[in-house]
Amino acid sequence: MVVATASGMAAQNPSLPYPYPANDTPLTLPSGILVRERNLVVFLGHNASSLTVVIETPTPATDSARVADETREVANLHSAFAQSNGLSHIVVLVCRTQACQELRERSAELFDFVRGADGAWVPAEGRGR
């Protein structure tokens, strides 16, 4: 498996900028919600490849339907990049702690998407939480 981040640095690079993650990009969704994009990682494997997008959202975890909608919007905003790089999945992680943003702690909110017949990203069957 090859691991590359959007900035071109390997995910295992010990000289990552401090504090990590260095990315704190505002991303306004089509619904008008402003989320923070904290990390982008591309995983290239033999059988599948994916883009993982780590975000923070102001939407509480208790509003799981709204969070799911937001993650679908995030996936669709990255559609052109995924398509141009031949990626088969987009995974959106919602991180609510610094440890999660640093990928030291698993996110309780993981959403896996695959490209649907109409070209939009749809939840992967049996692969999301």
> Which residues fall within 8 angstroms of residue 46, CB to CB, at 6 or more apart?
1
Q: Measured between alpha carbons, how far is 57 from 5 in angstroms, rounded to an integer?
A: 21
pLDDT digits (tens, 9 = 90+) for 25-76: 999 999 999 999 998 889 988 888 999 999 999 999 999 999 999 999 999 9
Q: How many residues does the chain have?
A: 129
Q: Measured between alpha carbons, how far is 16 from 8 in angstroms, rounded to an integer?
A: 11
Lowest mean per-residue pLDDT among 8-12, 53-57, 62-66, 90-94? 8-12
Partner residues linked to 2 by β-bridges: 44
Q: Measured between alpha carbons, how far is 15 from 17 in angstroms, rounded to an integer?
A: 6
**If residue 26 lies in a helix (H) or strand (E), which one and from where to where?**
strand 25-28
Here the tokens at position 116 are 């649907």
0.75 cut: is pTM over it? yes
pLDDT for residue 105 is more than 60: yes
Parse the chain into domains and list their residue ranges.
Answer: 2-101
pLDDT for residue 78 is more than 70: yes
Q: Measured between alpha carbons, how far is 38 from 40 in angstroms, rounded to an integer?
A: 7
| Banded pLDDT at 117 (limits 50, 70, 90) | confident
Confidence (pLDDT) at 46: 85
High-pLDDT (> 90) share of the chain, %: 58
Using alpha carbons, list the distances in angstroms from residue 99 to 21, 103, 105, 107: 10, 6, 5, 9
